[in-house]
Structure 1
Amino acid sequence: MRALLLIVILLAPLPAAATVLAAARTLPAGTVITEDDLTMAESKRPGLNDPAQAVGKQTRITIYEGRPIQASLLQAPRLVTRNQIVRITFQRGPLQISAEGRTLSEGAAGDVIRVLNLESRNSIMAQVNPDGSLTVLQ
């Protein structure tokens, strides 16, 4: 039985190498990827093959030179970081109220994060806008 299993394993086809995107240099965690950071390489590991899927994204972890770039290693760029002082805005109809706040987490465009209103000391939820400003959720 073991001999049959060994023969099956030895005769099984090996995964074929494919051309994928790889890091042209070591990319530390938090790096926003540019086209200069990418190169094409032959690899048996899965990875992205279109530069448009990686350019403008931020690395979650360090990606070493020559390693294939996978979608799970990338995230949308963080526009606000934890403990950053930001301007928060509440708007309902013609009424608009602005105040300073301290972010309690980091966030990308569209993320909903907790913010500490520095004037009232209350924790509120706000959405990160594409320009990095925050809008209080109603």
Structure 2
Amino acid sequence: MRALIVILALLPGAAFAGALGAAHTLPVGHVIAAGDLTVIDSDRPGLTDPSAAIGMQTRITIYEGRPLHANMLQAPRVIGRNQIVRLRFQRGALQIDTEGRAMSDGAAGELIRVMNMGSRSTVTAQVMPDGTLAVTN
């Protein structure tokens, strides 16, 4: 069976699917733009829709010409580990704002652990798109 696959791949006119690849080397943490992508011939499955990659952040270094896969990308990180952040606790009319230290990276909408700088207690908070954190517990 393996020999048949190799023979079919070597035949002239063998079909290769177009996939998205890196137009140049993309370092870890790079947010992908349209200019970072190119269409490559690849016999391996990968992303084919540019909208699935544009605006996403690389999880690993992606070398030029390598096909892009969904597991290589993540939502852009708004909060970095050990970053000093604004914590907001709100219940009804009561609102408390204070500083905290993020215990991990976080993208908008994710729940992360944060240490309250005033009390040194750890709380769970949701990352807001503007970079603030809403305490959930």
Paired with 2:100 and 2:22, the residues of 1 have a C-alpha distance of 37
1:109 is matched with 108
Paired with 1:10 and 1:96, the residues of 2 have a C-alpha distance of 69
2:94 is matched with 95
What is the identity, as a one-letter code, of the residue corresponding to 1:52? S
Structure 1 portions without partners, runs of 5+:
1-7
1:4 is matched with none
Which secondary structure does the structure 1 equivalent of 2:51 belong to? helix
1:134 is matched with 133
Structure 2 portions without partners, runs of 5+:
none
1:10 is matched with 3
Regions of 4+ moved over 3 Å: 12-16
Shift of 1:16: 4.0
Paired with 1:11 and 1:21, the residues of 2 have a C-alpha distance of 27
Shift of 1:105: 0.5
Shift of 1:54: 0.2
1:27 is matched with 26
Using the size of structure 2 for normalisation, the TM-score is 0.91
Paired with 2:54 and 2:19, the residues of 1 have a C-alpha distance of 14
Percent identity reads: 58
Paired with 2:126 and 2:73, the residues of 1 have a C-alpha distance of 21
Using the size of structure 1 for normalisation, the TM-score is 0.90
> How many residues align structurally?
131
